[in-house]
């Protein structure tokens, strides 16, 4: 069986998509609670995290923490 780089695979799936298509993919994944597609959201979050400064990262952590507490 061939080894697949899941990050590259997911990024390549979105490479030609415009912002509307990416947003639709994210919202559809969340709406239908697609367990397999959650991996893709993790990869997208990783990309955002890597490009974020410390202030943005702290804001994300605060939002995530608040959402977890309110779940």
Distances (CA, A) of 6 to 37, 46, 47: 12, 13, 13
What pLDDT was estimated at residue 3? 73
d(CA 7, CA 15): 12
Residue 7 banded pLDDT, cuts 50, 70, 90: very high
Print the domain residue range for 35.
6-69
Contact 46, 7 (CB under 8 A): yes
Q: What is the pLDDT of residues 36-67, one digit of tens each?
A: 888 999 999 999 999 999 999 999 999 999 99
How many domains does the chain divide into?
1
């Amino acid at each position: 069986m061939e080894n697949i780089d899941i990050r590259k695979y997911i990024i390549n799936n979105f490479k030609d998509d415009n912002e509307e298509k990416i947003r639709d993919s994210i919202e559809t994944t969340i709406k239908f609670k697609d367990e397999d597609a959650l991996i893709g959201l993790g990869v997208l979050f990783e990309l955002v995290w890597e490009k974020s400064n410390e202030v943005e990262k702290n804001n994300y952590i605060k939002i995530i923490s608040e959402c977890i507490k309110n779940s």
